[in-house]
C-alpha cells in the first residue's frame, strides 16, 4: 500500500512521493513550497456569493519554524501538539496501526483542526487513510452557513500536503483512495476546472474503461460524478452497465442502497433499467435486517422516486423493520419514511403503535415539519390515533408560533377528516382563530379554504371568516390566473355555503356567487362523499326487495337538490304508506339510507369520517330521516331472513304500523 509521509517538520518538505514516505524538503526554500502549493490550490473552491467571483487563496508569507531538539519542528508562536507523546506508538510503526482504530479516532473529531493535528503527528499515512482524512476534513471543516473550508484550513501545510499529493500522482493511488478523495471534493463547491479535480476524474475514467474498479468504487464514483456533473454525465451509463454485470451477492448493503440512490437520478430511464431494478428489489429483501435507519429511509425514498409500486413486499418488510428504528430516525428521515408509506398506501398496526409512543413522548420537542408529516400520514391513511391527535393538539397550543401556515393547515385538516375533537378542542381552535385574525393574509387562498372547510366538518364553524372567503376579492385570489376554479375548491365553497345556511342561521354576511358551486359533491375525483360499497349495496338491495315487495318502492343513488347523493331513498305518505319511488306528490317523509362500507369509517374503527358525518348531519337538517346501515352490522347477519328483520327494525322502528 502506498504511503504518504506527514512529518511535523513539513516546512522542510520539497516534494511528496506516494511511493513510501514523503521526502523532506531540505533542498528547497520555504517560499518555493508555498508558491507551488498556491499554483495548485488557488482555483479550487468556488465562492457561494452571487456572480462569477471565486475565492482564491494566496500565501503572502511563510511561517517561521524553530527546533527545540534538532528533530521536532513546529511553528514559532504556535502551541506544540499535546497529543504527540500520546501517539508516539503510531509514529514509530504506522503499518501495524489498526485501521479501524484510525477511523474511530477520525470520526470522533468534530473539527478540521483536530483532524490535521492528529495526522500531523504521524510519520507516514497509507493513501486510503489519507483519503479518509481528507474526506473527514471536508465533512467537519465547513463553518455554519458557509460551504467553503476556512482559509486557515486551506493554508494549513498538512492539508496542502494531502491535496498536492493526490493531484500530482493519482495513478499511484489505490481505487479506494482515488474515489474517496474525489468523493471528499464533492462535499464542497469545487471549481470544475481545478487541476486536482480534473486529474482525479481523468484517472477514474481510465480505470473505469479498463474495468479495474470494483463494485464499491464504482458506486462511489457514480455518486461523486452525479454531484459534480449532474445526471446528464455521460460516464454514468458506463458505470451502471458495469454494475449490472456484477453479482448482487457481492454487494454490501451500503452498495445496494447506493445503487438505489444512483438509479433514482435517472427517472427518465427507469423503463430501461426496470429489469435491473426488479433484481435489486428482490435481492434487497435479504438485506433489510442489516440496514440502518438512514439507509431504510433512503431505500424508501428511491422506491417512491422510481415509482416501484410492484415492490410492495420490499416496502412491507422495510416497514416492519422501520418500527424498531422510529426513535433513531432523524426528523428528515422519519418524514421520508412517512412520505413513502403514504405513497404506497402502507400501514401497519405495530408501526402506528410505535409512532404513537414516539410522538407522545417527544411531541413538544419534535420539529414542526415532522409533526405535520405525522398528521398527514394519519389523515391520508384515515388512522384515528387519539394519542397522536391529542399530543399534536397540545403541542400546537403550546408552540403555535413555530408552525408555518402550510404546516398549520396540514396539522388541523386531519381533525376534520377523521371527525375528531381533542380534549383541548376549545383551546386549540381559539389559538387557531387568533392566528387567523393576525396572519390571515399569510395563508395561501387554497390552503386557507381547506383549513376552514376542515373546521366545519367537526362543527367548529369559521363564522368570523365566512364573509372574507365569500368575498369577490378572495374568490378572485382563489382562482388566480386560471380560467376556472378547480373542482375540489368549488365543492368546499359549496359545502361551506350550505353549512352557513343550515348550521349557522345567524350568519347574515355574503355567500358565494352562483358560479362558484358544484351540482354534486359525489364526483369521480376530489369527491366530498365516499361512493357506496357495491357488494354491501347489493346485499341491502336484495333485502329491501324482500321487505318492500318490489324494486319500485325505493330509488338508488338519488341526487338531491342540495348536492348530496343518497344511497337509497324511500318515500312515505302521511299515513305511513310506502310510495313508489317515481311519486313526487303526497310525500310526507323521505328516508335516506346511508349504506356505509368500511371506506366511510376511520381505519379499523366504527368512527365515521368527517365528510360522512357532515353529510348525515345536513340531511337531517334538510328534513330527511337518516338511517345508517353500517357494514359491521350487516356482517353479523347469518341469513337473508335476519337481513329482512334487521332492515324492518332499522327503517320502521318509528312507524311500526307502516304499510306497503
pLDDT tens column, 172-203: 888 888 888 888 888 877 676 777 888 888 88
- With cell 353529510, the residue in question is 615
> 603-640: string of b/e by CB count within 10 Å (b at 16+)?
beeebbbbbbbbbbbbbeebebbbbebbbeebeebeee
Distance in Å from the first CA to the final CA of the chain: 97
Q: Return the H-helix or E-strand segment holding 74.
A: strand 73-75
Q: Regarding beta strands 65-67 and 73-75, do their DSSP bridges make them parallel or antiparallel, or are they unpaired?
A: antiparallel
What per-residue confidence (pLDDT) applies to 55?
24
Alpha helices in 288-385 (DSSP H): 293-305, 312-325, 331-344, 349-362, 368-380
Please, what's the largest Cα pairwise distance for the chain?
118
Query: Do 579 and 509 belong together in one domain?
Result: no
Each residue's pLDDT tens digit, 520-553 = 999 877 789 999 999 999 999 999 999 999 999 9
pLDDT band with cut points at 50, 70 and 90 for residue 80:
very low
* Parent domain of 617: 534-652
Q: What is the 3-state secondary structure (H, E, C) of 368-427?
A: HHHHHHHHHHHHHCCCCCHHHHHHHHHHHHHHHHHCCHHHHHHHHHHHHHCCCCCCCHHH
Domain count, the chain: 3
Residue 308, helix vs strand vs coil: coil
The residues, any chain, with a CB within 8 Å of residue 143's CB and separated by 6 or more, are 150
Pick the more confident residue, 605 or 135.
Answer: 605
Q: Regarding beta strands 565-572 and 578-579, do their DSSP bridges make them parallel or antiparallel, or are they unpaired?
A: antiparallel
Q: Which residues pair with 430 in a beta bridge?
A: none
Residue 87, helix vs strand vs coil: coil
The residues, any chain, with a CB within 8 Å of residue 584's CB and separated by 6 or more, are none
Phi, psi of 556 (to 5 degrees): -110, 145
Give the mean model confidence (pLDDT) for residues 478-502.
89
Query: Do 636 and 601 belong together in one domain?
Result: yes
CA 233 from centre of chain = 26
Each residue's pLDDT tens digit, 93-129 = 444 457 778 888 888 888 888 888 888 887 777 788 8
Q: Mean pLDDT for the chain?
A: 82
Q: Which three cell numbers stand for residue 200?
A: 482525479
Last residue of a domain, one of 213, 246, 279: 213
Q: Return the H-helix or E-strand segment holding 476.
A: helix 472-479
Query: Do 488 and 622 belong together in one domain?
Result: no
Residue 510 lies in a domain: yes
What per-residue confidence (pLDDT) applies to 171?
83
Number of helices and strands (H, E) in the chain? 29, 9
CA distance 516 to 486: 10
Pick the more confident residue, 94 or 211.
Answer: 211
Tell me how far CA of residue 162 lies from CA of 275, 332, 648, in angstroms: 42, 34, 88
Residue 504 lies in a domain: yes
Note whether 254 and 212 are within 8 A (CB). no
Each residue's pLDDT tens digit, 324-349 = 999 999 999 999 999 999 999 998 89
Last residue of a domain, one of 186, 213, 240: 213
pLDDT band with cut points at 50, 70 and 90 for residue 142:
low
Query: Do 626 and 549 belong together in one domain?
Result: yes
CB atoms within 10 A of CB 286: 13
The residues, any chain, with a CB within 8 Å of residue 335's CB and separated by 6 or more, are 369, 370, 373
Q: Which residues pair with 46 in a beta bridge?
A: 54
pLDDT band with cut points at 50, 70 and 90 for residue 654:
low
Query: Do 495 and 624 belong together in one domain?
Result: no
Query: Do 478 and 538 belong together in one domain?
Result: no
Question: Model pTM?
Answer: 0.77
Residue 600 lies in a domain: yes
What per-residue confidence (pLDDT) applies to 147?
64
Residue 482 lies in a domain: yes
Last residue of a domain, one of 189, 213, 237: 213
CA distance 489 to 486: 6
Query: Do 563 and 495 belong together in one domain?
Result: no
Query: Do 494 and 642 belong together in one domain?
Result: no
Residue 321 lies in a domain: no
CA distance 425 to 638: 42
Q: Label residue 309 left, alpha or beta by phi (over 0 means left) and psi (-120 to 50 means alpha).
A: alpha
Residue 324 lies in a domain: no
Query: Do 157 and 186 belong together in one domain?
Result: yes
What would you report as the CA-atom Rg of the chain, rounded to the nearest whole angstrom? Answer: 35
Each residue's pLDDT tens digit, 405-455 = 999 999 999 999 999 999 999 999 999 999 999 999 999 999 999 999 999
Query: Do 194 and 84 belong together in one domain?
Result: yes
Pick the more confident residue, 31 or 431.
Answer: 431
What per-residue confidence (pLDDT) applies to 116?
85
Q: Is 334 exposed, middle or buried (0-12, 13-18, 19+ CB in 10 A)?
A: buried
- Residue 219 predicted with pLDDT over 70: yes
Query: Do 15 and 144 belong together in one domain?
Result: yes
The residues, any chain, with a CB within 8 Å of residue 296's CB and separated by 6 or more, are 288, 318, 321, 322, 325, 333, 337
Residue 153 lies in a domain: yes
Query: Do 642 and 604 belong together in one domain?
Result: yes
What per-residue confidence (pLDDT) applies to 294?
95
Residue 438 lies in a domain: no
> 390-423: string of b/e by CB count within 10 Å (b at 16+)?
bbbbbbbbeebeebebebbbbbbbbbbbbbbbbe
pLDDT band with cut points at 50, 70 and 90 for residue 6:
very low
Amino acid at each position: 500500500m502506498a504511503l504518504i509521509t506527514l512529518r511535523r517538520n513539513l516546512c522542510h518538505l520539497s516534494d511528496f512521493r506516494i511511493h513510501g514516505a514523503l521526502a523532506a524538503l531540505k533542498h528547497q526554500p520555504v517560499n518555493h513550497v508555498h508558491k507551488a502549493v498556491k499554483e495548485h490550490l488557488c482555483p479550487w473552491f468556488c465562492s457561494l456569493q452571487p456572480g462569477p467571483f471565486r475565492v482564491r487563496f494566496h500565501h503572502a508569507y511563510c511561517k517561521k519554524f524553530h527546533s527545540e531538539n534538532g528533530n521536532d519542528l513546529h511553528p514559532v508562536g504556535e502551541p506544540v501538539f499535546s497529543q504527540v507523546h500520546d501517539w508516539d506508538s503510531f509514529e514509530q510503526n504506522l503499518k501495524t496501526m489498526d485501521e479501524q482504530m484510525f477511523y474511530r479516532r477520525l470520526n470522533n473529531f468534530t473539527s478540521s483542526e483536530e483532524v490535521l493535528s492528529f495526522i500531523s503527528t504521524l510519520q507516514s499515512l497509507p493513501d486510503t487513510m489519507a483519503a479518509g482524512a481528507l474526506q473527514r476534513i471536508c465533512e467537519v471543516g465547513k463553518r455554519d452557513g458557509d460551504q467553503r473550508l476556512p482559509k486557515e484550513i486551506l493554508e494549513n501545510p498538512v492539508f496542502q500536503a494531502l491535496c498536492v499529493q493526490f493531484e500530482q500522482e493519482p495513478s499511484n493511488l489505490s481505487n479506494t483512495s482515488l474515489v474517496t478523495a474525489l468523493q471528499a471534493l464533492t462535499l464542497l463547491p469545487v471549481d470544475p476546472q481545478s487541476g486536482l479535480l480534473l486529474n482525479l476524474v481523468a484517472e477514474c475514467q481510465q480505470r473505469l474503461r479498463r474495468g479495474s474498479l470494483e463494485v464499491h468504487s464504482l458506486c462511489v464514483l457514480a455518486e461523486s460524478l452525479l454531484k459534480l456533473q449532474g445526471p446528464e454525465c455521460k460516464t454514468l451509463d458506463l458505470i451502471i452497465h458495469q454494475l449490472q454485470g456484477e453479482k448482487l451477492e457481492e454487494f454490501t448493503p451500503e452498495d445496494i442502497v447506493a445503487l438505489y440512490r444512483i438509479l433514482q437520478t435517472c427517472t427518465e430511464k427507469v423503463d430501461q433499467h426496470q429489469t435491473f431494478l426488479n433484481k435489486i428489489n428482490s435481492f434487497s429483501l435479504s438485506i433489510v435486517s442489516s440496514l440502518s435507519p438512514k439507509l431504510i429511509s433512503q431505500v424508501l425514498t428511491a422506491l417512491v422516486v422510481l415509482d416501484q409500486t410492484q415492490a410492495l413486499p420490499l416496502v412491507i418488510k422495510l416497514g416492519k423493520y422501520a418500527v424498531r428504528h422510529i426513535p433513531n430516525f432523524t426528523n428528515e428521515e422519519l418524514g421520508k419514511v412517512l412520505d413513502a408509506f403514504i405513497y404506497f398506501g402502507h400501514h401497519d398496526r405495530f408501526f402506528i403503535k410505535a409512532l404513537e409512543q414516539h410522538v407522545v413522548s417527544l411531541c413538544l420537542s419534535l420539529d414542526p415539519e415532522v409533526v405535520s408529516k405525522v398528521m398527514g400520514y394519519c389523515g391520508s391513511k384515515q388512522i384515528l390515533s387519539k394519542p397522536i391527535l391529542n399530543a399534536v393538539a397540545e403541542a400546537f397550543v403550546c408552540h403555535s408560533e413555530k408552525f408555518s401556515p402550510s404546516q398549520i393547515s396540514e396539522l388541523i385538516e386531519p381533525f376534520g377528516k377523521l371527525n375528531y375533537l381533542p380534549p383541548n378542542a376549545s383551546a386549540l381552535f381559539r389559538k387557531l382563530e387568533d392566528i387567523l385574525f393576525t396572519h390571515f393574509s399569510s395563508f395561501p387562498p387554497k390552503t386557507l379554504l381547506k383549513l376552514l372547510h376542515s373546521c366545519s366538518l367537526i362543527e367548529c364553524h369559521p363564522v368570523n371568516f365566512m364573509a372574507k372567503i365569500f368575498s369577490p376579492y378572495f374568490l378572485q385570489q382563489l382562482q388566480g390566473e386560471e380560467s376556472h376554479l378547480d373542482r375540489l375548491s368549488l365543492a368546499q365553497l359549496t359545502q361551506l355555503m350550505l353549512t352557513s345556511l343550515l348550521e349557522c342561521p345567524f350568519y347574515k354576511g355574503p355567500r358565494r356567487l352562483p358560479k362558484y358551486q358544484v351540482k354534486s359533491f359525489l364526483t369521480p375525483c376530489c369527491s366530498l362523499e365516499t361512493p357506496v360499497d357495491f357488494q354491501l349495496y347489493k346485499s341491502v338491495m336484495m333485502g329491501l326487495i324482500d321487505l318492500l315487495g318490489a324494486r319500485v318502492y325505493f330509488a338508488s343513488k338519488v341526487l338531491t337538490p342540495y348536492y348530496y347523493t343518497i344511497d337509497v331513498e324511500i318515500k312515505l305518505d302521511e299515513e305511513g304508506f310506502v310510495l313508489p319511488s317515481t311519486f313526487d306528490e303526497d310525500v310526507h317523509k323521505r328516508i335516506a339510507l346511508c349504506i356505509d362500507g368500511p371506506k366511510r369509517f376511520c381505519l379499523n374503527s366504527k368512527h365515521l369520517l368527517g365528510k360522512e358525518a357532515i353529510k348525515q348531519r345536513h340531511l337531517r337538517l334538510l328534513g330527511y330521516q337518516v338511517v345508517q346501515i353500517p357494514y359491521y352490522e350487516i356482517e353479523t347477519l347469518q341469513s337473508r331472513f335476519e337481513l329482512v328483520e334487521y332492515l324492518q327494525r332499522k327503517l320502521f322502528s318509528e312507524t311500526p304500523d307502516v304499510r306497503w
